[in-house]
Amino acid sequence: MRFAHVVLPDSDSPVLAHVTDDGVVAVSSLVAGGPSTLEQLIAGGDDLLRSVERAAQSAERIRVEDVAFGPAVLAPPSIMAVGLNYSAHAGELSLKSDDTPTVFTLWPNSLAAHEGTTTWSRAQTESVDYEAELGVIIGRAARDVSVEDALDHVFGYTVVNDISARNIQYSEAQWCRCKSLDGFTPVGPYVVTADEIPDPQALKIWTRIGDEMLQDATTAQMIRSVATLISHLSRGITLLPGTLISTGSPGGSGYSRTPQVLLADGTTVSVGVEHIGELTTHCRTTE
């Protein structure tokens, strides 16, 4: 199944929708007391998910073109990000990929939607970069899980653009702030349930600006698989349902190119993951 937070016509707030090629329908209209957010759907467990699936089969829908998108997750209990999880990306940034994953958190103010506009001050940074990443959404609490059992705790997958202010990244020991400026974590547009992606290590992943393909890779190139990351992150820490994990970016970052390809005023950048979708962000700057 495919879900998204959408802003319906004559509405101002995003609600959870079930999405097919025929359009979208608000999940809250499908079942009595239906959830209005992805987090509520996850909390309802498998029984609620199956009820939604049955009701959605005959539902009347609105065209996707007639709605706007919200972030794929609205209020995750945490946003955990993994850096340097592709050898090519670690090498191009001249950063070491250590024996254990590089982990940092992203702040909720950074969440942004598909086709949204992210704005930043040029006085703060003119070294803003894209990073296409596979996002993983936890569906069942995970603590001290094995690699073999880790994927059983996944609700679904989405697309993340881990936008980064490189000048801040290289000036501070922690990476949270450089990647958590307002709007620096676009996520979506869709969440695809885990049953539709049996192998998260077999997905194409890309970034493009216009017709120029800047990142073109596959999740098979991850240093540590999704299952390995979940197992590692859950050691002594309960990954709560709704947690978003961003799993790292492949080679091809704009900061490392000659000449550099950085995000700037007027840039439109799209990142995508096979079988999930493509996420587009419009960039604007202020003085």
> Any idea which of 159-163, 225-229, 254-258, 270-274 has the lowest mean pLDDT?
254-258
pLDDT, average across residues 260-272:
98
Residue 99: pLDDT band by 50, 70, 90 thresholds?
A: confident
pLDDT, average across residues 62-77:
97
Residue 226: pLDDT band by 50, 70, 90 thresholds?
A: very high
pLDDT, average across residues 61-78:
97
Question: Which residue(s) pair with 82 in the sheet?
Answer: 103
pLDDT, average across residues 205-209:
98
pTM assigned to the model: 0.96
Q: Which domains does the chain have, with CATH numbers?
A: 2-69 (no CATH), 79-286 (3.90.850.10)
